Amino acid sequence: MKLFRSSGVLTPITSLPSAHGIGTMGQAAFDFIDFLAEARQRWWQILPVGPTSYGDSPYSGYSTFAGNPYYVDLDQLVADGLLDAADLEGLDWGDARYVDYDRVYALRFPLLRKATARGLTTMAADFDRFRRENARWLEPYALYMALKDHFDGAPWMDWDADIRLRKPEAVARWTKLLEADVTFYAFVQFLFFRQWERLRSYAREKGVGIIGDMPIYVAMDSSDVWAEPQFFQLDDQCVPKAVSGVPPDAFTDDGQLWGTPLYDWDALRADGYGWWIRRVEGAEKLYDALRIDHFRAFEAYWSVPYGETTAKNGRWVKGPGMDLVGRLTAWFNNMQFIAEDLGYITPELHALLEESKLPGMKVLEFAFDHREPSDYLPHNYSRNCICYAGTHDNNTLLGWLTEISEEDLDYAAAYLGLNPEEGYAWGVLRGGMSSVAELFVAQIQDYLSLGSEARINTPGTAEGNWRWRLLPGELTPELAKKIAAMTRRYGRG
């Protein structure tokens, strides 16, 4: 699917309503696709769908290939005969508006284990086929998760030396010892991808494409790094030599120390970038378009010596550039890539985007600084870009409008013709929808005119993120008609 003049909605799967504590690939996801189709939205953008680790951030997961067990819909498991309806009765999943991750984890995994026990009998042939076809990533991931359970959740860097370093005899011994748990984690992936294929097939029938999100880096405590450490900047004991971050800027004196391991681009290049090709092949099974987070690291990345407590003492190191980007765009010519080019922009990054022909991002919430003109103002756009009202890292439009200065608000109001009759949030949406950008994306909270209480993520904070959810009935036929009318008005329908 191509991006030709169209629009879409950014809504994480976690944010969908459900009776079981968190959004899933169940009926509410199908209903959401129906809503998008009725609203003439061509795209549904989601956040990364991998299994999340401590902190519940979708940008820090246990695997870049696996799916999140939280998204497996329990009602579908009942319909498939893997659970009884009675198994779901009397469970307290907490607040319908905000995800309680501790509660979801405690209640969900016993149910998934029960479904696995039945499914290993009733779905044995399909599961065996799935396991064979995905063995390269699935077996290391399933063993890694079983080992994490065995070692009480400790990161793999703290495991016994023989299995930490993946000595062949240790891998064989632990695989046999933890066989039941390894099979469980593999079967949950079978359930995830089985349900995902149903959902994606339905979306295609409705003319809705799915935009995925790929973090540039993977977590240190992940099966990806544990299984293939040769592709990362680690020493012979698998300790990082340097880690990721971004340098100091106008917002932070210390920069941001992300701490994820950096790629060994020489080793990846010598392997023909096979790891990256396999990674995007995995994404191709899930998405119709792919946003690459922190795309600028392909041009140059900020390298911080391991052990530093801030990112201040890092340095810029050249990335693979078009050597990798060109291979990915040529290899995956049916995949539409989006370059997240926010942050520190350089002429070299502009040149990489120009040569790659990938669309970059423009964010309306960054556009209205009364002190100086901005490249994010719609009159500065070219067609080959994606306009966002705000991303998952931004406040909702209504929240943003209440926190900016009076001068910036006046500037935005004059530029966009904001007025109380239309609603200020809807006026900003109109500004993005009417721009020349190939694609316009807004969060569903903004179409609902919700405030800061509906924010998905606040960078730099550890509490309260990734929790907001839609309530049943909030997405009405009237709202779909209103969005559809604006979409048609500006030629995106």
Alpha helix ranges (H) inside 151-307: 161-164, 168-177, 179-205, 223-227, 265-270, 274-284
Q: Which amino acid is at 181?
A: D
Angle CA 255–256–257, to nearest 5: 120
pLDDT at 3 (0 to 100): 80
Phi, psi of 44 (to 5 degrees): -120, 110
pLDDT at 127 (0 to 100): 98
pLDDT at 325 (0 to 100): 97
Which residues, 6 or more positions from 319, have their beta carbon under 8 angstroms from its beta carbon?
Answer: 265, 297, 298, 299, 300, 301
Residues with a catalytic annotation lie at 293, 340, 393
Write down the pTM of the prediction: 0.96
Angle CA 398–464–401, to nearest 5: 15
- Residue 421 has a CB neighbour count (10 Å cut-off) of 6
- pLDDT tens across 407-437, in order? 999 999 999 999 999 999 999 999 999 999 9
Alpha carbons 407 and 405: distance in angstroms, whole number:
5
- pLDDT tens across 64-98, in order? 999 999 999 999 999 999 999 999 999 999 999 99
Q: Round the CA-based radius of gyration of the chain to a whole number and report it.
A: 23
Bridge partners, 359 (sequence order)? none
pLDDT at 235 (0 to 100): 97
Alpha carbons 58 and 486: distance in angstroms, whole number:
31
Alpha carbons 218 and 223: distance in angstroms, whole number:
9
Alpha carbons 383 and 376: distance in angstroms, whole number:
13
Q: Say if CB 450 and CB 441 are below 8 A apart.
A: no
Residue reference for tokens 């995106």: 492
Alpha carbons 89 and 104: distance in angstroms, whole number:
15
Question: Would you state the structure tokens that stand for residue 210, as one six-digit string?
Answer: 């799915």
- DSSP, residue by residue, 330-377: HHTTTSEEEE---SS--HHHHHHHHHHT--EEEEGGGT--TTS--TTS
Burial class (CB in 10 A: 0-12, 13-18, 19+), 442: buried
For the sheet with 300-305, list strands across it.
256-261, 242-246, 300-305, 315-318
Give me the tens of pLDDT residue by residue for the chain, a chain 493 residues long: 678 899 999 999 999 999 999 999 999 999 999 999 999 999 999 999 999 998 899 999 999 999 999 999 999 999 999 999 999 999 999 999 999 999 999 999 999 999 999 999 999 999 999 999 999 999 999 999 999 999 999 999 999 999 999 999 999 999 999 999 999 999 999 999 999 999 999 999 999 999 999 999 999 999 999 999 999 999 999 999 999 999 998 768 899 999 999 999 999 999 999 999 999 999 999 999 999 999 999 999 999 999 999 999 999 999 999 999 999 999 999 999 999 998 778 899 999 999 999 999 999 999 999 998 899 999 999 999 999 999 999 999 999 999 999 999 999 999 999 999 999 999 999 999 999 999 999 999 999 999 999 999 998 888 899 999 999 999 999 999 999 999 999 999 8
Coil, helix or strand for 412?
A: helix
Residues in the chain: 493
Bridge partners, 226 (sequence order)? none
